[in-house]
Each structure stands twice: as C-alpha cells, then as structure tokens.
Amino acid sequence: MKQAYDFAREAFFAPTGLSEQHLEQVFSQLLTKDTTLADLYFQSARYESWGLEEGIIKSGSYSIEQGVGVRSVCGEQTGFAYSGEITLPALLESAKAARAISRAGQSGSVNAWTVRTPQRPLYGMDDPLNSLSEDDKISFLRQIDSIARATSPYVQQVMANMVAVHEIILVVDETGRMTADVRPLVRANVSVIVERNGQTESATAGGGGRFNLDFFLNGNKAQEYAEEAVRKALINLDAEAAPAGNMTVVLGNGWPGVLLHEAIGHGLEGDFNRKGTSAFAGRIGEQVAAKGITVVDDGTLEQRRGSLSVDDEGTQTQCTTLIEDGILKGYLFDRQNATLMGTQSTGNGRRQSYANLPMPRMTNTYMRAGEYDPAEIIASVDKGIYAVNFSGGQVDITSGKFVFSASEAYQIENGKLGKPLKNATLIGNGPDVLTRVSMVGNDLQLDTGIGVCGKDGQSVPVGVGQPTLRVDGLTVGGTATA
C-alpha cells in the first residue's frame, strides 16, 4: 500500500529533483553549535469550495498552496524563513536566513535519515476533492436549498457551502527524522435567513471531519443541516431579550464545549505557561475545577476535524489530561516549549501553513461524562438560562477572563424550559468557572466538526465537546435588567 511518505516524495521531491543529499546540504547551512532544534516543513494543499446562494451555484473556487518553511531554534530564540518555491536554492537561502538567529558559526550536519510513517493513521489518504463528482457536490447544495425552503415558508435566503482540502506534509528535523502525513478535511455549512412580519433572523448549521465528501450524502446531511438551521432561525424569531446579570446557566452538550476551549484550553498552552503570562501559570496540582471533572485534549480520535496522526513537528498526537478530578494536571506542548520546560512534546505543535511558525495548539478538547441525566440537571434549576448553541468565543489569557456568545438559549423557570432568549454573551473567569460546575451530565457529545481556532493570526481546525453542565453563577450579557 502507498504510504504517506510516498505521497510526500511524489509531491515534493519528484517534481523538483530534490534528494536526501540536498537536504544534507540544507541542514549543513542551517545548524550551528547553538541549535537546539531545526526543521523543514514541506506542505502542499489543494482546496476546492462550492457555494450556493439564491438557489443557484454562485461560486466555485480551486486553489493550490505549496511551499516550505525552514526553522532554526536556539533555546528560546527562533529564526524562520519560508518560500513558495520548493527548490534547492530557495531552501538554502531560507536556511541561511533562519540560521541568522544564532551568532555561532555553522556547525553540524545530518546525514542519516529515518523515514517515519504515522504509527496509527487516524484518517484515509484518498483525495476528498475527487471523492464525489462535481454534479453530486452541486446536487447536495441544491438539496440543502430545497429542503430548507420546504421546511418553512419564512425562509428568505439559503446559503450553502461545501469545502474539501487535501494536504500532504513532510517534516524533516535535525535528528534526521522524516515524517509525512496525508490529511483530508471536508466541511459543509448552511446559513439561512428567515423573515416573518418584517422581523428577520438567521442561523447556521453544518459539519465535517477528516474523511471523504460522500459522508454528507450517505448520512443524509443535507436534510439534517437544512432542518437544523431553519429550526434555530425560527426559534430566534420568537426570542425575547436575554436577562442581564449573574445567574445559573445550564450549558447543553456538544458544541457548548467551546467553554472549555476558551476558559481552560488556551490558558494551558505551553508557550503562555513557559513565559508565565497565563492565568494558569504555575498552578499544576491546584484545584481549578469541581471534583469529578476531567478535561482532556485528544488528538487521536479517528476522523475528527481536530485530530492529527502526527502534529506539524512530526510528533505523534496523544490524549493529554488537562484536568483530572478537578486538579490541574498538565499543559499542551510543542517541541520548543517542552524542551525549555524540561518535558516532552504532547503532539500539539501546529501551524496554519508552511509560512507560519508552529505553536502549542489544541486538537479536540472535551470534558468526560458525569452521572446526571440532562433532564435532571434542567429540573434542578429554579431560575436561570439553558444555552445550547454558541457562535464562538474569545479569552484574555493573562487576566483569565473569557466570553462566549450564545446563539440559542432558553429561560429556565422552576425547573422547566421557557421562552427562547436572544443572543447574549456569557462572561467568566477561566481559572474558577469550573469550580462552580455543580452537575455534569452523562451525555458527552463532540461537536459536528466546524470549529476554527485563531491564535496569533493563525487559524487551525479544532474540535470541542462536553456533557450537559450546570454552572452556578455566570454573567449573562443580555439587555433585560428587571
């Protein structure tokens, strides 16, 4: 069977004439006696997307992104250069520029190569762009449009998108390791606008992962996404002003796990903790969540959007326990920050592309299930809100304050769900929000595969998940002060 490394050779070496001898030359240029790590990151990614709007296929696009990034690290210091051209002169020039981080002269070489192929591939290597015919891709989008319009007469606009990416990477590092990975990624989204009596609202739905496009056809996802988007939009038409103030909040399972991503995940990334700029710095072993709460970052789930067989430094991904039974256990590391903190990479070194430096990033971050029935959790609340869908969030790593914005929420009164509430932002303090979780549901679910995380201007696909949670005291940023 064709291995990931064979794909990499085909993509990067065959067309350019590059060989292992050339890589030796590049490393001879790159390494000095101060170098603690160095790597070349070859990337070739092909993107295709189709967009439907107003019942017609309005847009289609295809793009190729290809290049190589060259990095030299001396302790805390990093030199980096990249080129869209994969040629020996471009590599040598980048190596010379990246090496400038070291004041020491050239010293060292790599001349024994070990080819490593992912031990445990989490996804197939087929090209998802070719996994459906163009006609099938388009008819999927048309199906979303017709189902959405048939679902409600109030639907005014339907926008549907389908995106497929096929990416091949090869990481060559200073130890001579050559690690390749072939990564499919697909996503479908629908966004609807509904209008009733002059009032307009919108909602979105979608999903995806690291598999082929036939996932959407086989799972009848056109119907699922279209109906879900229309359902949420219609609910928003009936929504009343959300309350303002501190109250009990029940968070639904699945995508509301964005709470963990913002409140906990970013603050546990190794770079902020090495620098001591995170509100979680130096708090390993402390209680940061209620007893019984366990949160992990798991890059090893098959076919999930946030999963990777190996990270962008060639390290095998793993399931890292961040919080265990309420106690802070660990951080997320790339190679550089792990080395500086005297530990091992957790396989969380990720980058947006060859033109960006890797950093510690999340993969799939979720809380393990507890014991409560979700209905029991809602029934336990006298007065509060139940938030089941969110449009995203943000965190200030240093102060620990985070927000996430509800796009579907309901009143809870006397243990019963009441009227839907308008969009409201929830705000809290990362290091203590989980100490106020008083009930954890038995209904752990991961999101449908649409998450994008931004950090330092770099976007990477991620996943989140959680069971239903009761949080005693979160600030809800509505407008109703009564």
Partner 1 sequence: MIELENRFDIATEFQAMAEHVLAAAKAKGATAAELDLDKGTGLSVEVRMGQVDKLQYHRDQGINLTVYFGHRKGYASTGDFSPPALADTLDAACRIARYTSEDAFNGLADAERMATEFPKLDLYHPWELDADMAIDMALQTEAVAREHDARITNSEGASVDSYAGMSLYANSHGFMGINHSTRHSLSCSVVAQEGESMQRDYWYSVSRVPSLLESADSVGAEAAQRTVRRLNARSLSTREAPVLFVPQMARGLIGQLVSAISGSSQYRKASFLLNSMGQQAFPDFVQLREDPFIRQALGSRSYDAEGVATQARDIVKDGIIQGYFLGSYSARKLGMQSTGSASGASNLLLADTGKSFPDLLAEMGTGLMVTELIGNGINGITGDYSRGAVGYWVENGMIVHPVEEVTIAGNLKDMFKGIVAIGDDVDERGSIRTGSILIDKMTIAGQ
For residues 63 and 335, the answer to whether their CB atoms sit within 8 Å is no
Rounded least distance, CB 391 to partner 1, Å: 6
Task: Tell me which of partner 1, Zn ion, none is bound by residue 85, counting a contact when its beta carbon lies within the kind-specific cut-off of 5 to 8 angstroms.
Answer: partner 1
For residues 322 and 320, give the distance between their C-alpha atoms in angstroms, rounded to a whole number: 6
What Cα–Cα distance (Å) separates residue 446 from each residue in 51, 96, 185, 328, 406? 26, 44, 17, 22, 17
Query: Which one of Zn ion, partner 1, none is in contact with 58 (Cβ closer than 5 to 8 A by kind)?
Result: partner 1
Of 1 and 64, the one with the shorter C-beta distance to partner 1 is: 64
First-to-final CA distance of the chain: 66
Alpha carbons 43 and 360: distance in angstroms, whole number: 19
Beta carbon nearer to partner 1, 413 or 456: 456
CB of 174 to Zn ion, least distance (A): 30
C-beta of 285: minimal distance to partner 1 in Å? 18
Please report how close the Cβ of residue 15 comes to partner 1 at its closest, in angstroms: 9
Residue 165 or 301 with smaller CB distance to partner 1: 165
Smaller CB distance to partner 1: residue 20 or 93? Answer: 93
- Nearest CB to partner 1, comparing residues 395 and 446: 395
Minimum Å distance from CB 433 to partner 1? 11
29 binds, among partner 1, Zn ion, none (CB under 5 to 8 A by kind): none
275 binds, among partner 1, Zn ion, none (CB under 5 to 8 A by kind): partner 1
Residue 392's binding partner, choosing from Zn ion, partner 1, none, with beta-carbon cut-off 5 to 8 A by kind? partner 1
Q: What angle do CA 197, 200, 203 make, to 5 degrees?
A: 135
Strands 458-466 and 364-367, sheet pairing: parallel
What is the spatial distance between Cα 173 and Cα 208, in angstroms, rounded to a whole number? 32
The option from partner 1, Zn ion, none interacting with 63 (CB < 5 to 8 A, set by class) reads partner 1
Find the largest Cα–Cα distance for the chain: 74
User: Interacting stretch for Zn ion, rule CB under 5 A, among 232-240, 249-257, 345-353, 451-459?
Assistant: 451-459
CB of 371 to partner 1, least distance (A): 30
Q: What is the x/- site pattern for Zn ion, positions 407-446, by CB under 5 A?
A: ----------------------------------------
Of residues 250 through 289, those in contact with Zn ion by CB under 5 A are none
Residue (212 or 356) nearer to Zn ion, CB: 356
Is 453 an interacting residue with respect to Zn ion (CB under 5 A)?
yes
Name the minimum Å distance from CB 391 to Zn ion.
14
Q: Min. distance of Cβ 399 from Zn ion in angstroms?
A: 16
- Between residues 215 and 280, which has the closer beta carbon with respect to Zn ion? 280
Considering the complex, state which of residue 173 and residue 262 has its C-beta at the smaller distance from Zn ion: 262
- Give the binding-site size for Zn ion (rule: CB under 5 A): 1
Q: Which is nearer to partner 1, 142 or 177 (CB)?
A: 142
Between CA 72 and CA 224 the distance in angstroms is: 47
> Cβ closer to Zn ion: 250 or 453?
453
Shortest Å distance, C-beta 202 to partner 1: 5
Nearest distance, CB of residue 273 and partner 1, angstroms: 12
Residue nearest to Zn ion (CB): 453
Give the nearest distance from C-beta 81 to Zn ion in angstroms.
Answer: 27
Q: Side-chain half-sphere of 397: how many Cα atoms within 13 Å?
A: 16
| Contacted by 453, from partner 1, Zn ion, none: CB < 5 to 8 Å by type | Zn ion
Options 112-120, 268-276, 301-309, 448-456: segment touching Zn ion (CB under 5 A): 448-456
Beta carbon nearer to partner 1, 223 or 391: 391
Residues that bind Zn ion (CB under 5 A): 453
